[in-house]
Amino acid sequence: MAVLRFEDVTKKFGKVTAVNHMSFETKDGEFLVILGPSGAGKTTTLKIACGLVNPTEGKVYLDGEDITKVPPYKRDISMTFENYSLYPHMTVFDNMAYPLRAVKGEFTEDEIKNRVVEIARMLHIEELLDRFPAEASGGQKQRIALGRTMVRKPKIYLLDEPLAHLDAKIRVELREEFHRLEALKLATTIYVTHDYTEALSLGDRIMILNEGVVQQLDTPEEIFYRPVNLEVARQVGQPAINTIECDIKEKNGRLILVPVDEASVSFPVSNSDKEKIKNYGKSKLILGIRPKDISIDDSKNKESIEVTVDVFQPLGSEGVLTSNAGDLQLIALIPPETKIDHGQSVKLYYNPEDFYLFDIDTKENIKLKY
């Protein structure tokens, strides 16, 4: 069993509240990803979990046992830091062996050697064992730091941005490796990132954190398609979701959304959303449309809007189109081979079923609430 639970945990550093009344529970053996912007409290959450930071209030439990006051070395939890924290004067082997040697008398040198070599093999860094960290590349240092965390077979792994500072190709390679690492599959892992693609790719569940507050803890699919609020919707998806403040109006018996900044265009809503908007009862809302839900292809989509092309960036597998309809800006993901020029008028298509609707005041997802 390896279940970590935070019960109403708050951490203040002077006037800064890094973690604010946080409660959550991992599932045994799951890969839980914490996603949030810089300063959201992600690292502080991990440090509280492993005992490097004491909470100002609240309790932490491991498998039901209160570990709030248990020192880090007595918790069965290992943490890898973003900046590697390798000892420069020790070889890679000694760096990796360190956590096993630190618990004096528990492992023989033979056992330590076997375990270090086994993990090094798994992470493809066996040939580096006799070198010093300075003789390893950034990606290799990241693997060494990960290896040092993994030698111990703890109940919980805490990984703080383990792929940060790596170039895009190595990131993708290592991300794939995370899927394959048996040791991580067996233990419960909490993984911090601010990269939503990593979160969606790796997480059994994702916890979205903002200003120390848990916004949503859910499966990647729920987070993407049913975000509880605008903040969560903005955290996942690149380019970010288009958000448009709109007046709610009625025209010829249909409910339409008219952008506050550009009254010459309107967005008709679907029948299922009509009821929800009526129950919501206010006269304004924030409309969210993901760039992937806007296209130049009319075959599946019902409604259209005339826009002028501002910038088109063909980025390999997709093209990012930035366009304007008067004062309204719309970003769409379209095929990269599209021939399109600045200033050209085009029709963009969308399906109102794909709309996200948020409360103008609380920013909560109207579709989930009403």
Name the site residues for ligand ATP (rule: CB under 6 A). Answer: 13, 16, 18, 36, 38-44, 194
Packing angle, helices 138-150 and 109-122, rounded to 10? 130
Q: Residue 117, SS3?
A: helix
254-259 vs 242-251, strand pairing mode: antiparallel
Task: Tell me the C-alpha distance between 314 and 336, whole Å.
Answer: 5
Q: 3-state DSSP helix/strand/coil percent for the chain, to nearest 5?
A: 30, 35, 35
The separation between the first and the last C-alpha atoms of the chain, rounded to the nearest angstrom, is 39
Nearer to ligand ATP, 40 or 334 (CB): 40
d(CA 332, CA 351): 13
CB of 12 to ligand ATP, least distance (A): 9
Cα dist from 262 to 247, 324, 349, whole Å: 10, 10, 18
- Provide CB contacts within 8 A for 305, sequence distance 6+: 265, 267, 325, 330, 347, 348, 350
DSSP string covering 32-97: EEEE--TTSSHHHHHHHHHTSS--SEEEEEETTEE-TTS-GGGSSEEEE-TT----TTS-HHHHHH
In angstroms, what is the minimal distance from the CB of 17 to ligand ATP? Answer: 8
Min CB(86)–ligand ATP separation in Å: 19
User: Among residues 46 and 289, whose Cβ is nearest to ligand ATP?
Assistant: 46
Q: Least distance to ligand ATP from the beta carbon of 36, Å?
A: 5
Residue type, 127: E
In the bound state with ligand ATP, the residue whose beta carbon lies nearer, of 77 and 269, is 77
Given the complex with ligand ATP, which of 40 and 112 has the nearer CB atom? 40
Ramachandran assignment for 64, one of left (phi > 0), alpha (psi -120 to 50 degrees), beta (any other): left
We find the least distance from the C-beta atom of residue 13 to ligand ATP, in angstroms, to be 3
Residue 366: strand, helix, or coil? helix
d(CA 344, CA 139): 44
Nearer to ligand ATP, 13 or 225 (CB): 13
Residue closer to ligand ATP (CB basis): 212 or 288 = 212
Helix (H, G, I), strand (E, B) or coil at 99: helix
CB of 47 to ligand ATP, least distance (A): 8
**Shorter beta-carbon distance to ligand ATP: residue 18 or 22:** 18
Q: Output the smallest distance, CB 130 to ligand ATP, in A.
A: 33
Least Å distance, CB 189 to ligand ATP, is 17
Number of Cβ atoms within 10 Å of the Cβ of 12: 14
Q: How far is CA 211 from the centre of its chain?
A: 15
44 versus 365: smaller Cβ distance to ligand ATP: 44
Distance CA 118, CA 112 (A): 10
Smallest distance from the beta carbon of 193 to ligand ATP, in angstroms? Answer: 9
Q: Answer yes or no: are the C-beta atoms of 161 and 199 closer than 8 Å.
A: no
Q: How far is the CB of 222 from ligand ATP (least distance, A)?
A: 22
Cβ closest to ligand ATP, residue 47 vs residue 290: 47
Closer of 41 and 259 to ligand ATP (Cβ): 41
